[in-house]
């Protein structure tokens, strides 16, 4: 059995969506970096199968390329905002290949609110120090996972 994944641009009816008490949005790079979301989902399934029936992972990475502007890009932005707002856990991953400016914006926004956050940075992420300091200043903690396996374990801890 695998954890249920909602992938952009798929839409889930509210009755089914809100039946998942644990809704985890996978925030992080979707352009200019490897498909870390699918890798994370595989790792989470392997290490934490006990959550398969009770957790919904929300993956904003679409199949194929997406334009940087226009109607499809607008639909993507709205999809992400809705599901990020409605997730119960916001998981952030910062890969080494890109700065992820929108993800930094989202982390800043949600770190000021009373949400469960799970945060990880690749060892070579250029702004790792900034992420650590900002989280410490805003939330008083600095637990930042350094790889996807540790991030999956951190998520499991937050879900328990």
Residue whose C-alpha is closest to residue 145's, from 33, 31, 22, 40: 40
Name beta bridge partners: 104.
none
98 CB-near residues (< 8 Å, 6+ apart): 29, 31, 32, 33
Give me the CATH number covering residue 81.
3.40.50.450
Q: 55-107, pLDDT tens digit by residue?
A: 999 999 998 777 778 898 999 999 999 999 999 999 999 999 999 999 999 99
Range of the structural domain that residue 114 is part of: 4-98+106-159
| Overall domain count for the chain | 1
Condensed to tens digits (0 to 9), the pLDDT of residues 107-125 reads 999 999 989 999 999 999 9
């Amino acid at each position: 059995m695998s954890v249920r994944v909602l992938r952009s641009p798929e839409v889930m009816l509210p009755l089914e969506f809100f039946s998942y008490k644990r809704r985890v949005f996978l925030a992080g790079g979707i352009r200019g970096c490897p498909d870390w979301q699918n890798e994370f989902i595989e790792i989470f399934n392997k290490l934490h199968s006990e959550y398969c029936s009770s957790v919904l992972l929300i993956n904003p990475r679409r199949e194929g390329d997406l334009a940087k502007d226009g109607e499809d890009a607008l639909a993507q932005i709205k999809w992400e905002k809705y599901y990020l707002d409605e997730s119960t856990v916001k998981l952030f991953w910062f890969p080494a290949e890109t700065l992820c400016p929108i993800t930094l914006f989202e982390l800043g926004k949600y770190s000021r609110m009373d949400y469960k956050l799970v945060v990880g940075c690749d060892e070579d992420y250029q702004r790792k120090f900034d992420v650590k300091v900002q989280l410490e200043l805003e939330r008083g903690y600095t637990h930042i996972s350094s790889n996807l396996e540790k991030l999956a374990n951190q998520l499991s801890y937050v879900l328990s």
